[in-house]
Each structure stands twice: as structure tokens, then as C-alpha cells.
Structure 1
Amino acid sequence: MTCDLEVDVNGEEIFLVDKEVLSSFSGKLRELTSKTLATSATRNLRVTLHGLPGGAEAFELMTRFCYNNGRTQISPSNICLLHCIAHFMEMTGDLLSLTKKSLQGIPYWSWPEIMSCLKRCQDLIPVASSSGMLDKVICSLVGRITAVSDASPSGSSPESSAFRFSCDTGSTTSAKNNSIHRGAWWFDELVVLNPDMIEEIIRKMAVEKANHVVIGRFLMHYLKNGGVCSAAADKKKAAEVIIDLLYSLDGSSVSSKSLFGLLRVSSPLKPSKCCQTKLESMIGNQFDQATLDNLLIPAPSGMNSLYDVNLILRFLRSFLRSGGRDSANRLEQVGSLMDSYLAEVAPDSSLKPLKFLALITALPDEARDCHDAIYRAIDLYLEVHTRISDEEKMKICSAINYEKLSSESCKHIGRNTKFPSGTAVRALISQQTKLRSLLKGTDQLRKPGHDPDRDDDDDDDEQIILYKKKLDLTREHEKLKSQLQGMQWKVMELEKMCRKMQRQMSKAMKTRIAGSSGSRSLPRLCS
């Protein structure tokens, strides 16, 4: 044999080979050498191979096959290299047919052999995928996982047809880890694969109707334990792949707690805008399951506030878009959560009035039965933000539904100098409305024939409005406080009177019913 051909493989290494031997097996080399002969004045030829899958290692395997008259040992550890280089080098002879024949034996491969092949394939995905080899190996892997998803490899016999592949020497990590659910025995096995390979596997599992909850748990496990993601770019790629895959699963596949954990890990990596939107949408859909600690997310650098309130507002919009307002229970849970959040962010001196107002008004009115918590949060905000204008104060206070304030909160507003004077008027009107309702109820108790549908409130409403318009808030503020306190006392006294009259009326009605039945009371016997 003569070494009359120099082959530069991907700029990594130069091989001196026999042109005739290798060209007899490789159509690509025949084409390259023919072009080189036509333009070269020397007898020694040199060709360069760019993008050869597997690089120098794969080329060396190919040359051994050629020098050995088309014979080589094919195993799961080298079949991927041989199959890919056979495609790339256009080897129409025995090597391609041998690798295809060997792939037919995948159902009989052990689990470590499948994993060994996948590890090779992940560096050769473009060629391995286009040649169809990767799909065959992944199908076999997914089939093994789904076939034993309800069993534990550690409790099975190595000779068992269902578990032989998962109990070989190279697959012991899961068997030793009793803390992982037996259906998740494969979690630790797959964390060594890169994000592209994980994406291929998980999408195949979804097509095969694998349990989405198990898939979701694996993806969170991979994000936490993946050993191949060392560089920042690799970590970002892994986070983006995981977000995309989770978004394609059922909405309940991953807990709210896990999604917030994913948010904490992925945010510093700055994933794409599309991925951020998908993650925020998933969190928003489960926002009623969040906790206050989940929401206290520090603001990103450059944002002039302690907490990322813009992010919380986006969560709320996603929650409402996903149908959150259609469930009274879920809506009330979010309302209670936001009341707690408002109390936490209100003391932030850098929180702008309009942003604080946006947090208060983000939910519809039916999310809260009582506005006392909103009043307390505004009270905290005004205590810290002493320099905001009266106009800004009035805008914030306009978010309070005074009809949903307790009598105690209305009384407190009347004494609260931090609030604009107009709020005391609105609190007074609210108290007068409650008082009028109590008086109306008392009148109905005294006059059972009273028509409840008759509207007697128009004149009173007009008088209250006229009173409000004529009131000089600057001079009458202290007088208004006293009047409000007096109204508060009257409300409580009337409430007691109503309860007493209701008991009396109930007793009288019972006596009247007993008398109408025709019976008469008997004298009490002396003891």
C-alpha cells in the first residue's frame, strides 16, 4: 500500500492514506480526489474534509474498515460514529448496510448500551437525526421508560425481560436512591445528556402520551442536577429548553412552587423574551397557589424599587386572562394574597404612586369582600411617601370601596390626618348609608306591611350630596371628625336596638301563631 493521499480532517489532524483503498469505499473521497488531480501538478494529493461528524476518531474508524476489506466490529458505543460517517462520506458499500443491520438489534440492547449510544449521538445530532438513527435510539429509550414507569428497577430480577436493560452494571444510581419515586428511576440516568438531546427525548415522550406530571418532575430535576451545563450559554440553553417543554405540557404538570424556583434560576441567565413570557404565563395560570414569599422578588438592576412589581402585575394579567375571575374561590385567594403583598411593598420609598395604585386596582372589585387591608396598606404608603401631591393621594384613595370598609376603619379615616379631607366625607357618606339601612330595617320590623321595593332614599341622597358640596373641608375638618364618631356610636346603638327588636318581634310572632290555632294557654300549676 502507498500513502499517496493527505486528508485534513476538520483542521484537527492530517491522515496519510492510500487513495485507491479509501476511494473504493467512499464516493465523497473519489469526488474530492478527482477534482484535486485535475488542478494539481504534483503526484501527492491533499484534500480537506470540513464538518466531518465525529472528527478524527470517526475517520480513523472508517480507514480501519477500508483497510480491513470492509470488515469491522460494530457495537453500541461506536455504531453512531460509523453510521454518521458512512452517510457523510457517501459510503455506498458494506459499512452503511452493516450499521443499518446492527440498528435492527436495538430491542435487545441493554439500558447502558442505549445510554452509551445516546451520549455519542448528542455530539452528532444533525447527521444522526437526518440519517434516522437518532429517532430509532430515542424510540427505544422512551419505550423502555414508559414500559416500566410504574415499577422499580431495584426490585426486579436482572433476567427479567422488562428490567434487564435497566439493571445492568452501568445503571445503579437510580436503584440506590430510594428517595426518588420508583417511576422516576431514570431521572439521574438522563441528566448527563445535553439540552438538545433532552428536548428530543421529552418531545418523543409527549407524543407517546407519557405522564406529564412525571415529565415535569424530570425537567425540574434536570435543571437542578444537569451535569453538562457548565458554561453560562449552556445553562441559558437548558433553561430555555425546559421552559419550552414545560409550556407544551398540561398546565397542572408542575407546581407553582417549582415554577417560581425555575424563575429564580432562569432570570439571571436572561432567557429569550418568548421564554420569559411563557414562564410568566404558566405562573400566572397558577397564581392562586402562590405564597407571599414567592412574590417578594427583588427588582432587576436599573429598576428604582425594592421589588419587581411589574412582574407581579404581569402575573395578575395572566391569571385573569386564564379564567381566574371565573372562579370566586380562586379570585378571593388571589385578593387575599395581594392584600398581603401590598402591605409588604407599601413602605418602599421608591415605589411610585401610579405603580402602587396599579397593584391595588389590578383585580376586579369582587376579589375582596372587605377593603380594610387596602386601607391599611394605603395608610402605610402615605406614612412613608409624605411628599406626594394631594392629587396623587386622592387617586390612590379612590381605589377604596368605602361600602366594603368596616365601621372601625371608617372611624379611623375620620381621625387620620395623612388622608385627604375628602376621604373623611366619603367615609361619612358610607356611615350614613349604613345608618339609613339600619333605620329602614327597623321601620320594616315595626311595620310588617311596608313595601321593601319602595325607594325612599332619593331625598336623603340629594341632601348628602348637597351637604358635601357646601362643606368647607378646611374649616370643618375637626367638626367632621366629631360628627363621624357620633355617627359611629349611633350605628352601634341602632345595631343593638335592631337585634333586640328582632328578638321581641320573633317572640310576638310565635305567640300570635299559637293564639290563632284555637288553643288557649293553661294556668301554671302551683308547685
Structure 2
Amino acid sequence: MMEVCCNLEVDVNGEKIFMVDKKIVASYSGRLSKLFGKSKSTSRNLKLIFQDFPGGAEGFELILKFCYNNGNIKLNPSNVPLLYSAAQFMEMNSSFSGTQNLQERTEKYIEDISEWSWSELLNALKRCQDLSLSPSIVIEKCLDSLVGRLNLAVEANSCPSTSSPDSSALRLSCDTKSTESLKTGFSNGLWWFEELLIFTPDLVKMFVQFILERNFDEVVIGRFLIYYQKLKSSNATRDEKRKIVEVVVEMLYVLEHSSVSCKSLFSILRVALGLNIDKYIRNKLEKMIGARLDQGSLDNLLLPSPSGMNYLYDVNLVLRFVKAFLLEKTNRTSPMPLKRVARLMDLYMAEVAPDPCLKPSKFLALAKALPDFARSSHDDMYRAIDMYIEVHTEMSEEEKVKLCCALNYEKLSAETCINLSENIRFPSTSSIQALISEQLKLKTLLQTANSSSSITSLPCKLEEKLDFPEENEKLKAHIQGIQWRVMELEHVCKKIQTQMTKMMKSKVTNDSQLKSLPWLCS
């Protein structure tokens, strides 16, 4: 029988004070042996304070159990993580404890991790995170084994006899009653999504890093991260939600673009907007959304403005999305994504145009965010600008002119050109440009029609009737329609010329514009 005396007071992390036999504990611990081995003091008032003992009081109690039982303790997946960490901390290696080497014993037990069941792996990992144990060989070994079994599960998923996590072939002895329901609830071997909800964000981060090294399907990883963020955040505190979002975004960022949808990223963004997440992480989220902006919808973009701002929608955020998209566009071979984004921006401009608090400079930035070649037509942009000018009656003429400069008049349809020329809200210079553009297009159309219909001459007066062969009735109707539009343009042009003449009397106008009028309206 070992003689026991209490000659050492140990304060463990401020949680609990233990009275122990210094000689017994020091015989197994290199750390204590170095502290007290050479001490000749017989004082019974020795005190030792630990500030960062692994597992706190629970961990120290396990060490005492080992020491006071002559180095005997039953190891299991639940206590090994704590015993291993505590043994390392106390330096319980062969240098001091001979054959009764706790550190070596725990390491050997961990080496046999292939014998552990699926539930034992999860429980061991949960113990590590519950006790706030720093990343160690235990966590690494458990994660490596866990990922290896998931890989096997995916490979065997097509085979009913081995697709179960309880299968002996996969050594996934899941004891949880929920496994069967999870298998039926998740297709394609995704039953493990819910099982890993026990992980903290930091452990999820390590798990994803391990699983990426195994070349796991990144689409599945993306789905897991989205699932984790949604489910784990449902009952979390604000700080916990922020940590979850930051880790999920950071992990999604390293995946291929096709691994996660734009819709899923926007759902994360809406959560992140109210959590004040780290700016560096938010930038990553915005870049990911921008790279997939062509997959987005108008509803996705209608995000409320930041707190303290009086305008309705976060226009600056959308501009950052477009910038990120254009930076990514260099890797695209198809022009279709750019055209889809242009269409999306036209819809967005029309939606935000009625906002009375949206400044002209911001609206202009939206209009000029994409290069001209992104749009084959500027009709929708014209309508959005018209709506904006109509609402913002306080705009100066200079501000209107700047907005109109964003339009490419050559990409306006004939109907839009006519509408613009009669639109009193637009600057007169814009009307003239629209007329010039439309007349040039009409003349080109007439010349094309002339050359293709064997007509030898075109009368000077457009209203004069032309004689077409019977088989060219469709072409005849088309050209007659063009002639009527030209006549309508001439009528509008005369009105503008009259208005300009009146303006001459009160204000000097640009000579170059006036000189072009006789040609334009002749």
C-alpha cells in the first residue's frame, strides 16, 4: 500500500484546489520532478499554480487517478484526448516514469484509431472542442480517419450493402438512432451533414482543410458549409453567428466557383450584413458574389442601405459586385455572362431610379459601371434614366447632360429615338443626337433596301410612292414604314429648329449644333 501524504497544494486554472502527495505525482511527471526533485524543503505549505492546464480540474483529476493507481488507468476514446494533452503538459514520458509512460500509452492507443467506431471518433472530437484542447495529434488523427471513412462512404454509396455508416465494410459503427433517418433524408451519401453539426466553426475549418486534401467533391463540401451555416446559426448567439459566417465564407472562398451558387452566397450575405463581420472576410464574400453575378437576380441585388444612410438600397455594394465581376471577366470566353449582368443592371437601375434620396453621381456610376459593348441595346437604360430625371426634378442641366452621356444613341431603337427627341425632360443636345443617330440608321436601311430590290433611283421626296414587284410586298411595307418614321422625325426636327431659333434670341447657342440643323432637317 502506497503511503500517501498531502504536502502540495495545487491550484488548477483557478477552478479547484487539490491537496496531493508531491512525491507520488512527481514520480510520474517530469514537470513536477524538475520543480521539486532537488528541493530539500520539508515545508507542508508548498503551493503550485497552473494557469492553463488542459481540461482544467477534470484533466488534473485524471492525472491523479493515474498516479495514485500505480500508473494504471483504462483508456477509451472519450478520455484519451484529455489524458494525452495532460500527459504532454505534465511531461509524463519515459524519462521519468519508466514503463508506466502515460504519454506513450495514449499515443499507442491513438495509433489504433482505425479500430474506433464512427461515433467514437465524433465523441473524441467533441471532447477536444468541449475542453478547448488545442489542435493536437488526437484531433488530427480523428479528422484524418473521419475523412477517410467519408471517402469510402462516397465510393460505396452506389452499393446498398456498403452505403450505410453502420456498414462493417466501412467500419462506421454509428450508434446514433438518427443514422437511418439521415440516410433516407439525405441523398447521395450526405447523411453526415447533420452528424457534423456538433463541430465548432474552428473544427469545421480543420475538417474542410483535411477533406480538401483528399480531393473530395467540392460541390458536396460547398453544400455542407451552406447547410452548416444555416442550421448552426439557428440557435446561436450574435457572436457565435458571426464566427460561423466568417469561417464558412473563408472555406467557401477556397472552393471552385461552380461549387456554390450565387443564391446561396446572397443568403449568407443577408445574414452577414447584420453581424459586422471582419472586413477582410466580407471582401471575400463580395468577390465570390461578383464572380457569379451573372447568376443573380434583381431580388438578390435589392439589399437595404447601411444603417445611417437615407437612400433605400445599397448601391455602393452593387457597384463593388460589378467591379469584382469585371475583374473576373478576363477569364471568361463567352460574352453571355456580361450581357446577363448588363440586363440585370438595367433592371436594378429602373428599380432604384424612383428613390428620391439617390444622388445623380451614384445613378451615373450605375449607368457607366459596365463597358459599352456589354449592351446591344440602350433602350432599357434610357427608360431608367428617364424615370430618374422625372423623379429628381431638382437636377441641374449639367447633371442631366452627364447622365445622357452614358447613353449610346446608336444603340437606341427607332421608337426610343423618337420618344427621346420629344422628351422635354431631356437636354436638347440629347434630342439632337438621337435624331442624328436615327436618321443615319434609317438612311442605311433605305440604302440597303434599295440595293436589294433592284430600284435604280430613290425619289428626293420620301413620301413619293415606289413601284415594287409583286413578290416584294413585305419589303415594300418595311420601306414604307421607314419612310413614315423619317417623315415623323422631320416633323419633330422642325419643332426643335423652331425652339432653337427662339432660344437664339435670348441665349447664344453652340454654332456647330446650329450649322448641322439644315442638313439634319432637310
TM range (shorter): 0.7 to 0.9
AA aligned to 2:148 is: G
What displacement does 1:169 show?
2.1
Residue of structure 2 in register with 1:517 after alignment: none
What are the within-5 Å matches in structure 2 for residues 212-223 of structure 1? 212-223=218-229
Does residue 304 of structure 1 match 2:310?
Answer: yes
Does residue 434 of structure 1 match 2:441?
Answer: yes
What displacement does 1:170 show?
2.2
Does residue 279 of structure 1 match 2:282?
Answer: no
What displacement does 1:159 show?
6.8
Residue of structure 1 in register with 2:480 after alignment: none
Residue of structure 2 in register with 1:332 after alignment: 339
Does residue 381 of structure 1 match 2:417?
Answer: no
Specify every segment of 5 or more residues in structure 1 that has no aligned partner in the other structure, as ranges.
Answer: 451-463, 491-527
Distance 1:212 1:163 in 2: 22
> For 2:327, which of 321, 325, 340 is the aligned residue?
321
Residue of structure 2 in register with 1:133 after alignment: 138
Residue of structure 1 in register with 2:14 after alignment: 11
Does residue 239 of structure 1 match 2:245?
Answer: yes
What displacement does 1:270 show?
1.4
What displacement does 1:163 show?
4.1
Distance 1:133 1:9 in 2: 23
Residue of structure 2 in register with 1:56 after alignment: 57
What are the within-5 Å matches in structure 2 for residues 91-110 of structure 1? 91-92=92-93, 93=97, 94-110=101-117
What displacement does 1:174 show?
6.1
1:5–1:46 Cα contact (<8 Å) kept: yes
What displacement does 1:414 show?
2.1
Does residue 183 of structure 1 match 2:210?
Answer: no
AA aligned to 2:408 is: N
Residue of structure 1 in register with 2:485 after alignment: none
Distance 1:177 1:383 in 2: 58
CA 1:115–1:158: 2 relative to 1, 3 Å: closer
Distance 1:178 1:211 in 2: 21
Give the structure-1-normalised TM-score: 0.81
Distance 2:185 2:292 in 1: 27
1:240–1:272 Cα contact (<8 Å) kept: yes
> For 1:265, which of 263, 266, 271 is the aligned residue?
271
Distance 1:4 1:47 in 2: 11
What displacement does 1:145 show?
1.0
Does residue 344 of structure 1 match 2:371?
Answer: no
What secondary structure, in the 3-state scheme, does the structure 1 residue paired with 2:258 have? coil
AA aligned to 1:97 is: E
Distance 1:52 1:206 in 2: 33
AA aligned to 2:85 is: C
AA aligned to 2:388 is: Y
Q: Which deviates the most, 88-97 or 344-353? A: 88-97
AA aligned to 1:58 is: G
CA 1:247–1:229: 2 relative to 1, 3 Å: farther
Q: Deviations over 1:251-277 (max 9, x none)?
A: 110011101111111221112121111
What displacement does 1:165 show?
1.7
Residue of structure 1 in register with 2:461 after alignment: none
What displacement does 1:305 show?
1.2
Residue of structure 1 in register with 2:78 after alignment: 77
Residue of structure 2 in register with 1:145 after alignment: 150
What are the within-5 Å matches in structure 2 for residues 195-214 of structure 1? 195-214=201-220
Distance 1:427 1:228 in 2: 55
CA 1:474–1:341: 2 relative to 1, 3 Å: farther
What secondary structure, in the 3-state scheme, does the structure 2 residue paired with 1:382 have? helix
Distance 2:402 2:263 in 1: 35
Residue of structure 2 in register with 1:523 after alignment: none
Does residue 353 of structure 1 match 2:360?
Answer: yes
Distance 1:73 1:258 in 2: 47
What displacement does 1:390 show?
0.3
Q: Deviations over 1:425-456 (max 9, x none)?
A: 11111122123213433553477999xxxxxx
CA 1:379–1:155: 2 relative to 1, 3 Å: farther
CA 1:134–1:422: 2 relative to 1, 3 Å: same
> For 1:395, which of 383, 399, 402 is the aligned residue?
402
Distance 1:391 1:283 in 2: 35
2:165–2:179 Cα contact (<8 Å) kept: no
1:5–1:16 Cα contact (<8 Å) kept: yes
CA 1:20–1:79: 2 relative to 1, 3 Å: same
Q: Deviations over 1:179-208 (max 9, x none)?
A: 322321110011111011111111000011
Residue of structure 1 in register with 2:26 after alignment: 23
1:65–1:71 Cα contact (<8 Å) kept: yes
2:6–2:21 Cα contact (<8 Å) kept: yes
Residue of structure 2 in register with 1:473 after alignment: 500
AA aligned to 1:108 is: E
1:122–1:194 Cα contact (<8 Å) kept: yes
Distance 2:159 2:58 in 1: 35
Specify every segment of 5 or more residues in structure 2 that has no aligned partner in the other structure, as ranges.
Answer: 458-489, 505-512
Distance 2:158 2:121 in 1: 19
> For 2:199, which of 193, 196, 199 is the aligned residue?
193
Distance 2:159 2:27 in 1: 48
What displacement does 1:164 show?
4.3
What are the within-5 Å matches in structure 2 for residues 147-162 of structure 1? 147-150=152-155, 151=157, 156=162, 160-162=167-169
CA 1:476–1:338: 2 relative to 1, 3 Å: same
What secondary structure, in the 3-state scheme, does the structure 2 residue paired with 1:14 have? strand
1:112–1:171 Cα contact (<8 Å) kept: no
1:220–1:258 Cα contact (<8 Å) kept: yes
Distance 2:351 2:63 in 1: 67
AA aligned to 1:335 is: A
Distance 1:448 1:428 in 2: 26
Distance 1:155 1:268 in 2: 47
Give the length in aligned residue pairs: 462
1:247–1:282 Cα contact (<8 Å) kept: yes
1:32–1:47 Cα contact (<8 Å) kept: no
What displacement does 1:123 show?
4.2
Give the structure-2-normalised TM-score: 0.82
Distance 1:80 1:179 in 2: 32
